[in-house]
Structure 1
Amino acid sequence: MCGRFVLNASPEEIADYLDLIGLEDFPGRFNIAPTQPILIVVEGTKPEPGSNLPNRQAMLVRWGFMPGWVKDPKEFPLLINARSETAIGKASFRAAMRHRRILIPATGFYEWRRPPKDEGGKPQAYYIKPKNGGIVAFAGLMETWSSADGSEVDTGAILTTSANRSIARIHDRMPVVISPEDFTRWLDCKTQEPREVIDLMKAADEDFFEMIPVSDKVNKVANTGADLIEPVAQRLEPAAKVVKKDDGQMSLF
């Protein structure tokens, strides 16, 4: 699951990392939420032979995937994530996996550790970012939805996978991260079929991300300041329970 993320790098840093045609200036965003516009990257037209110009292009889409065959958006669920394990065969994402794979730049994302129901308490929010800082590129899918009146809306979703052991301490899913050396293969929908990029849809290495406890201000979409990613004191984990075994020995579990 990925329901909020951050992109606070400069346009120049994003363009350099993703080898993009120049980007217009824009402010950092610290609480990007579903239905809002998100920056995505698509493979552009093939450059002229011998040209050193980048051919990847950036555009804005609505975060919330809408398959082209949907008749009434009000009756269709908001698809902000797509499970990488099933996206190839799922009706909603099958065409996009074959024809419209994208990259979604981010500098981090949020996740919540929810305590067991019998323990009570509030979920703890975490800001999850690369340990070395910088930008990451989430794997994503894009679809253009056309209404009956002819208007069009470009939409997108983030692909997720089973969390690595580090992230699994707070949540069982995480975004798929595409490494720079794999950008071209992921975006190449002309020669690379979905089954040929399955190996890219995997969890990041154990030590790639760090998890920083942050305040619950991120829960409100109206909060958008840089203070959202400032560390806070982590809520204490519940103490281990002590039980007696039949042999009278004490045990922790």
Structure 2
Amino acid sequence: MCGRFTLMATWEEVVAYMGLLDVEPFPPRYNIAPTQPILIVIAGEAREPGSNLPDRRALLVRWGLIPRWAKNPKSLPLLINARSETADERGTFKAALRHRRALIPASGFYEWKTIGREKRPFFLKPRNGGMVAFAGLMETYADPNGSEIDTGAILTTAASADIAGIHDRMPVVVHPQDFARWLDCRRLEPRDVADIMRPPEPGLFDAIPVSDLVNKVTNVGPEIQERVADLPPAVADAPKKPEPKPKPPKDDGQFSLF
């Protein structure tokens, strides 16, 4: 899954990478958490024939998709991720995958590796620097009072071979050459873009061990991405041994009050 990610690029870099006309300036974000606003890119209105301008627009949505049919969102689990392998079969995500596919610009994401009884965080960032775009879904929910909220989720896939040792799932990464196909919900159905929803090639990300500062959503500065010392392989891979049970006291034939 993907429970935290980051977007540290400038708004100019996002505009250039995502092929946008413009976007409101925003500060770098080092620890984006569920229910917070996230920047997504969707297909815009059709432009004049022959125009070379990109047909895309950016907007902020709540990270945590709420299906349009939901009567009581509070009764639903927090839907920050959708499994790409089954999204087209689930009523929760099926309509969004068909009609409202999105791109989510990111500078990397965080994942936790289980080591013994602990979970150690890693920052997964593009090896060559810059940004990536996650495959996302968007849904606009209208509550009974008539107010609307735009919501979104990140599609996940099986982890690439080099990340599987940290976690078995990761976000679907959409390469720039596939942006137009992914966002084209007018002509392309989910089966037409199924090839995009695959694990990326190994080596796309560097895995950096970081401190547990990232665990708290109130920690939002660059210090949460500082590398910490690697555990020795033998320690990192070996599960913790259970503590030995205390031996019962010897029975010396006398009663004890304790």
In structure 2, the partner of 1:41 is 41
SS, match of residue 69 in structure 1: coil
CA–CA separation in structure 1 for the residues paired with 2:85 and 2:55: 29
CA–CA separation in structure 1 for the residues paired with 2:231 and 2:56: 43
CA–CA separation in structure 2 for the residues paired with 1:131 and 1:16: 19
Report whether the alignment pairs 1:70 with 2:63.
no
In structure 1, the partner of 2:10 is 10
Provide Cα deviations, 1:93-128, integer angstroms capped at 9, x if missing partner. 00001100000000000000012xxx33x3111000
SS, match of residue 67 in structure 1: coil
CA–CA separation in structure 1 for the residues paired with 2:53 and 2:195: 29
CA–CA separation in structure 1 for the residues paired with 2:123 and 2:182: 26
Following superposition, which runs of at least 4 residues in structure 1 exceed 6 angstroms of deviation?
none
Which amino acid counterpart does residue 223 of structure 1 have in structure 2? N
Task: Report % sequence identity.
Answer: 58
Provide Cα deviations, 1:120-164, integer angstroms capped at 9, x if missing partner. 3x3111000110010100000000011001001100000000111
CA–CA separation in structure 1 for the residues paired with 2:232 and 2:36: 34
The 5 Å alignment of 1:51-90 reads 51-90=51-90
CA–CA separation in structure 1 for the residues paired with 2:45 and 2:150: 19
Which amino acid counterpart does residue 135 of structure 1 have in structure 2? M
In structure 2, the partner of 1:244 is none
Which of residues 164, 169, 178 is equivalent to 2:165? 169
CA–CA separation in structure 1 for the residues paired with 2:3 and 2:193: 24
Provide Cα deviations, 1:4-34, integer angstroms capped at 9, x if missing partner. 0000000000000010021111100000000
In structure 1, the partner of 2:229 is 233
Which amino acid counterpart does residue 144 of structure 1 have in structure 2? T
Mapped contact 1:102–1:140 kept (Cα < 8 A): yes
CA–CA separation in structure 1 for the residues paired with 2:121 and 2:144: 41
Report whether the alignment pairs 1:153 with 2:177.
no
Structure 1 residue 189 displacement after superposition: 0.3
The 5 Å alignment of 1:1-253 reads 1-115=1-115, 119-120=116-117, 122-239=118-235
Report how many residues are paired: 237
Provide Cα deviations, 1:171-192, integer angstroms capped at 9, x if missing partner. 0000000010000000000000
Provide Cα deviations, 1:213-250, integer angstroms capped at 9, x if missing partner. 01100000000001111111123344578xxxxxxxxx
SS, match of residue 164 in structure 2: helix
Which amino acid counterpart does residue 216 of structure 2 have in structure 1? K
Which amino acid counterpart does residue 224 of structure 1 have in structure 2? V
SS, match of residue 92 in structure 1: coil
CA–CA separation in structure 2 for the residues paired with 1:188 and 1:204: 21
Structure 1 residue 165 displacement after superposition: 1.1
In structure 1, the partner of 2:251 is none
Mapped contact 1:124–1:235 kept (Cα < 8 A): no
SS, match of residue 150 in structure 2: strand
Mapped contact 1:124–1:234 kept (Cα < 8 A): no
Mapped contact 1:30–1:226 kept (Cα < 8 A): yes
Mapped contact 1:65–1:157 kept (Cα < 8 A): yes
CA–CA separation in structure 1 for the residues paired with 2:149 and 2:231: 41
SS, match of residue 204 in structure 1: coil
Which amino acid counterpart does residue 58 of structure 2 have in structure 1? A
SS, match of residue 167 in structure 1: coil
After TM superposition, the score normalised by the length of structure 1 is 0.91
SS, match of residue 191 in structure 1: coil
